[in-house]
Structure 1
Amino acid sequence: MKKLIPLLLPVLVAAAFAPAAASAQDLKVALIAGKTGVLEAYAKETETGFMMGLEYLTGGKMEINGRKLKVIVKDDQSKPDLGRTLLAEAYGDDKVDIAVGTSSSGSAIAMLPVALEYKKVLIVEPAVADAITGDKWNRYIFRTARNSTQDAAAAAAVSPAGSYAFLAQDYAFGRDGVKAAKVALAAAGRKTNVVHEEYAPQTATDFTASAQRLFDALKDKPQPRVLSIVWAGPHPMNKIADMKPERYGITLAPNGNILPVLKTWKNFGGTEGTIYYYYAFPKNKMNDWLVAEHTKRYKAPPDMFTAGGFAAASAVVTALTRAGSGDSEKLVAAMEGMEFETPKGKMSFRKEDHQAIQSMYHFRIKKQQKSEWDLLELVREIPASEMPVPVRNKR
Structure 2
Amino acid sequence: MRVQTKTLVATMGLAALLAVGACAPSADGGGGGSDAGDDGDQGEADPASAEDAASGGDPVEVALITSTTGPLAAYGDTFIEGFHAGLDYATDGTGQIDGMEVVVEILDDGGDTDRAITAARDVIGQGYTIMTGTAVSGVALALAEQAEQNEVLYISGPAAADAVTGINDYTFRSGRQSLQDVATAGSFIDVEGSKILVFGQDNAFGQGNFAAVDGILGAQGAEVSSVMIPEDVTEFTPFAAQVLDADPDMVFVAWAGATSGAMWQSLSQQGVLDDITVVTGLGDASTFNAYGEASDQIDFLNHYFPGAPDNAINDFLVAHVEEAGGTPDLFTPDGFTAAQMIVHAISTAGGGDDVDAMIAALEGWNFEGPKGDYTIRASDHALIQPMYQARLAQDDEGNWVPELVSTVDGADVEPPETN
- TM category, shorter: 0.7 to 0.9
Describe the shift of the 1:175–1:146 C-alpha distance in structure 2 as closer, same or farther (beyond 3 A).
farther
- The amino acid that maps onto 1:24 is G
Q: Aligned partners of 2:318, 2:413: CA distance in 1, in Å?
A: 27
Q: Aligned partners of 2:238, 2:122: CA distance in 1, in Å?
A: 45
Q: Say which is worse superposed, 214-223 or 38-47, in terms of deviation.
A: 214-223
Describe the shift of the 1:38–1:170 C-alpha distance in structure 2 as closer, same or farther (beyond 3 A).
farther
How big is the shift at 1:249?
Answer: 3.0
Q: Aligned match of 1:28 in 56, 61, 71? A: 61
Percent identity, aligned pairs only, is 30
Query: Counterpart of 1:218?
Result: 243
Query: Counterpart of 1:147?
Result: 177
Query: Counterpart of 1:18?
Result: none
How big is the shift at 1:363?
Answer: 1.2
How big is the shift at 1:360?
Answer: 0.5
Query: Counterpart of 1:66?
Result: 99
Describe the shift of the 1:138–1:79 C-alpha distance in structure 2 as closer, same or farther (beyond 3 A).
same
How big is the shift at 1:264?
Answer: 3.2
How big is the shift at 1:375?
Answer: 1.6
Query: Counterpart of 2:262?
Result: 239
Q: Aligned partners of 2:296, 2:414: CA distance in 1, in Å?
A: 30
TM norm structure 1: 0.81
Q: Superposition RMSD on alpha carbons, in Å?
A: 2.8
Query: Counterpart of 1:384?
Result: 410
- The amino acid that maps onto 1:262 is F
Higher helix share: 1
Q: Say which is worse superposed, 161-170 or 266-275, in terms of deviation.
A: 161-170
TM norm structure 2: 0.77
Residues 57 and 100, structure 2, Cα contact 8 Å, conserved in 1 = yes
Q: Aligned partners of 1:29, 1:239: CA distance in 2, in Å?
A: 44
1:96 and 2:122 matched:
no
Aligned 1:9-48 pairs, distance under 5 A: 24-48=57-81
Q: Deviations over 1:256-298 (max 9, x none)?
A: 2111212434631142121111211211111112223333433
Q: Aligned partners of 2:98, 2:297: CA distance in 1, in Å?
A: 49
Q: Aligned partners of 1:167, 1:79: CA distance in 2, in Å?
A: 26
1:308 and 2:334 matched:
yes
Query: Counterpart of 2:6?
Result: none
Q: Gaps (5+ residues) in structure 1? A: 1-20, 201-205
Describe the shift of the 1:214–1:227 C-alpha distance in structure 2 as closer, same or farther (beyond 3 A).
farther
Q: Aligned partners of 2:243, 2:74: CA distance in 1, in Å?
A: 33
Q: Aligned partners of 2:206, 2:78: CA distance in 1, in Å?
A: 21
Structure 1 counterpart SS, 2:155? strand
Q: Deviations over 1:97-149 (max 9, x none)?
A: 31102110011112221101110010011111111114xx0100111211111
Q: Aligned partners of 1:320, 1:97: CA distance in 2, in Å?
A: 11
Q: Gaps (5+ residues) in structure 2? A: 1-53
Q: Say which is worse superposed, 161-170 or 56-65, in terms of deviation.
A: 161-170
Residues 30 and 72, structure 1, Cα contact 8 Å, conserved in 2 = yes
Q: Aligned partners of 1:76, 1:362: CA distance in 2, in Å?
A: 32
